Structure 1
Amino acid sequence: MPMIVGVVAGAAVLALVFIVVVFKLMWRVAEPNEALIISGSKHRMEGLEEGMGFRIVTGRGTLVLPGVQAVRKLSLDLNETELSVDCVTHQGIPLKVRGVVIFKVGDDFVSIANAGRRFLDQQKLMSERVHNVFAGHLRSIVGGLTVEDMIRDRDKLTGQTRAACGTEMEKLGLIVDSLQIHEIEDPTGYIKNLAMPHAAAVQRDARIAQAEANRLATEAEQQAAARMAEATRDSEILQAGYQAERDNAAATSRQAGPLAEAQARQEVVVQETRVAELKAHRREQQLQADVRKPADAKAYEKRTLAEAERDVRISAAQAKAKETELAAAAEATRVTTAASAEAEATKARGAAAATATRATGEAEAAAAQARGIAIAESTRAKGLAEAAAIAARAAALAENQEAVVAQQLAENWPEIVKAGAGAFGNVEHMVLLNGAEGMSDMFTKALTMGGTGLGLARQLLASMNADGRVKGGGSPVNGATSGGAGSSSKRVPLDGES
């Protein structure tokens, strides 16, 4: 009994194994990218003609009777073929069109059946057949187009080619996934020549655009530079204004010293002038009190010395005043020149120029004031001295007219001698018997002949006024005589004079 059970179990197992093996041999499964074409039995499928003698299985499994039915596979993968077609356009221009066609067997049973009948054993020739189909239609379509149409509208060329090949591809059981025209070669250079005007226009526009960009950049740079220059100018103007203020303060401080010194010198000159006036007045009073007729010459000498000393001091005071005036004018001129140059250079420092001008005016006013005071004091001192001299001479003339006449004769002695020597002007030859003594006698006679010397003295006395001046605007008795042109006089010292 156990043996029977074991035999039955073994037979069952063998039967099961046999069934599995037979099933594996009979069962076929179609991959997603392939179609199984099973021939050897008649099957009716939707869309196919009745009794075509094979059936198509896609995406599922099916039983196949070994030895009775044959199973073959048709690939549904994508395929591509390169297009390189020599064409001639409507214009007669030869071109070479390069592209690619991507195609596959259609997914419907009709396309699979058509492709199976034509390419089941010749799938490697599928690309060649497709290339031939597209090459023929492409030549035909290009022959009806111009180069310009092909360049400007490639989609039109592509669409017409696909439309023309659609019917034939459907008969072959193929569908076109993509048709791309990669390149249109022009061995004659027509396309290049056609593009040259456009390229030139593009280059022109590019150059114009570049030039415009350069212009805008240059304008921007110039504007930036102008703004920088304007900022620099404003900064320099502000700095110049501050510098002008500093220079003005420095000039004011520099002028303060010379102005104070000039004022001090002016006071010194004034005081010296007053002292000189007091001394002269005192000496004049002393001389008037002490000098009498026997001492007229000595009094005259002292007065003359006092006048000379006073003239020296007055000249020194005038020189100092002139020096002060020139120093103030030079300093004012320097300040004015500096301020004017600074104002002309900056053109924006009106306030600084006004301040400089005001300082210059003050300096000039101070200099003019000092100059006027010095001149006034000098004139006053000179007038007082002349008045004193005139009074003294008038008094001397009233008291001792003979001394005055003697002084006038002494001062005009060169003219007297000249007039006496005129008697010998027309003498060509003169014989002297007693030598130098005879010459002295003759010269003495010439001087007294006709009253030449005494006559000149009488004329001087008659022409003198009570104030000691010669009639007709002549010089005082102590001055030079009013001789002719080119005449000169020399003062003869009196008694007691050196």
Structure 2
Amino acid sequence: MRDNGMGVGEVVRSLVLGILGAIALRIVLGIYQRFLFICEPHEILVVSGKSTKLSTGESVKFAVITAGRHFRIPWVQIVKRMDLRIISIELHVKRILSVGGIPLDLHAIANVKISTDERYVYNAVERFLDMGTDNIRMAARQLLEGALRGVVSQLTPEQVNQDRIEFADKLVEMTDADFSKMGLHLDTLKVLRVEDEAQYLENLGRTQIANALRDAENAQNRTGQDIAMEEAAANQSAAIAQKQAEIGIAQKRNQLRALTGQLEGEAQSVEREAQVASQQARAEAEQELQAVRREVETKRLLCEVVLPAQADATARQLLAEGDAASIAEAGRANAEIIELTQ
């Protein structure tokens, strides 16, 4: 029984220790989570009690964390958050005197936010920490309204109304230094409407419309005249070009006729030369043929007449010579016989 009691006590002790360990771990995690600050993309963390040396060489008693996380040292540091999201400001400034003393009413919308530039963000912390968005909006509106009056006083109503992009650029340029001192950044500014009680812009618009219509009509008339002149010039150029083309065609035809005549003459000359050459060759061949025929006839006569005649004459001569020799021999024999008989 005593052993069983000791076993139960060990189990209870283990359970108690496990529960206490879990509670202690939860307390540690809770403390860690409480003192761990994670900087989200749309905010900055301001850590008081931590000295920071700025790029200007000046030291401040707080630090700005724009990304990552920070573990706050208890009883030494304080961490606060500042929102970086856009703050929209509607501007409606009345009776702003422009050049010429003409009052204008301006409706515009601006978007500002706390600057994340290291050179200016500390200015925003000093001025707007623990202040709500409305306070930032009010300060920015006052600055923009004053700048609006300053810019409009340098421009004519036409410039303000027509070139609103340039007007907004001038306003941004004028307020840049003041916003930097406040640690703010003017993201966008757009002029929505420009109005005037004196209806100067409306009358100016009517005049401009009338002038535009007149200019358009004049331009149309000038365009019609220009078109007529261009058509006349084009017709004249076309007629001249047609005449020149006809002259060129006639010249080419004459050149073709001359070339054709020249070629035909050369062809006829070649043909005549060929005919003459053919006749001459025929005559030469005929002469050669006649010469051959004469030679053949000569040889034929030689064979048929001359040679037989010569052979017959030779034969007769030989016969005559033989007869003479016989007679001579007979005479000589008779003489010898006579001599012997005597």
Instruction: State the TM bucket, normalised to the shorter chain.
Output: 0.5 to 0.7
Matched, 1:139 2:149: yes
- C-alpha RMSD of matched pairs (Å): 2.8
Quick one: distance in 1 between partners of 2:206 and 2:165? 24
> Cα offset for 1:158?
1.5
Give the match's secondary structure for 1:108: coil
What amino acid maps onto 1:44 in structure 2?
T
Matched, 1:52 2:60: yes
Matched, 1:83 2:91: yes
> Cα offset for 1:202?
4.1
> Cα offset for 1:204?
5.3
> Cα offset for 1:188?
0.5
Matched, 1:28 2:37: yes
> Cα offset for 1:6?
5.4
Corresponding residue pairs, total: 210
Quick one: distance in 1 between partners of 2:117 and 2:72? 22
Give the match's secondary structure for 1:155: helix
Contact residue 78 and residue 102 of structure 1 kept, 8 A: yes
Counterpart of 1:435?
none
Tell me, which stretches of 5 or more residues in structure 2 are unaligned? 1-5, 222-342
Counterpart of 1:103?
112
> Cα offset for 1:28?
1.4
Contact residue 147 and residue 171 of structure 2 kept, 8 A: yes
What amino acid maps onto 2:167 in structure 1?
L
Contact residue 53 and residue 60 of structure 2 kept, 8 A: no
Give the match's secondary structure for 1:127: helix
TM-score, L = length of structure 2: 0.55
Counterpart of 1:43?
51
Q: What do residues 237-291 of structure 1 show as CA deviations (whole Å, max 9, x unaligned)?
A: xxxxxxxxxxxxxxxxxxxxxxxxxxxxxxxxxxxxxxxxxxxxxxxxxxxxxxx
Quick one: distance in 2 between partners of 1:111 and 1:58? 13
Higher-Rg member (1/2): 1
Matched, 1:93 2:106: no
> Cα offset for 1:99?
0.9
Q: Describe how 1:55-454 pairs up with structure 2 within 5 A.
A: 55-85=63-93, 86-123=95-132, 124-203=134-213
Check 1:90–1:207 CA distance in 2 against 1; reply closer, same or farther (3 A cut): closer
Q: What do residues 217-241 of structure 1 show as CA deviations (whole Å, max 9, x unaligned)?
A: xxxxxxxxxxxxxxxxxxxxxxxxx
Give the match's secondary structure for 2:60: coil
Contact residue 48 and residue 109 of structure 1 kept, 8 A: no
Quick one: distance in 2 between partners of 1:160 and 1:210? 38
Check 1:179–1:149 CA distance in 2 against 1; reply closer, same or farther (3 A cut): same
Quick one: distance in 1 between partners of 2:98 and 2:47? 48
Quick one: distance in 2 between partners of 1:102 and 1:205? 41
Contact residue 113 and residue 186 of structure 2 kept, 8 A: yes
Identify, as 1 or 2, the structure richer in strand: 2
Q: What do residues 306-362 of structure 1 show as CA deviations (whole Å, max 9, x unaligned)?
A: xxxxxxxxxxxxxxxxxxxxxxxxxxxxxxxxxxxxxxxxxxxxxxxxxxxxxxxxx
Contact residue 92 and residue 107 of structure 2 kept, 8 A: yes
Check 1:62–1:198 CA distance in 2 against 1; reply closer, same or farther (3 A cut): same
What amino acid maps onto 1:106 in structure 2?
S
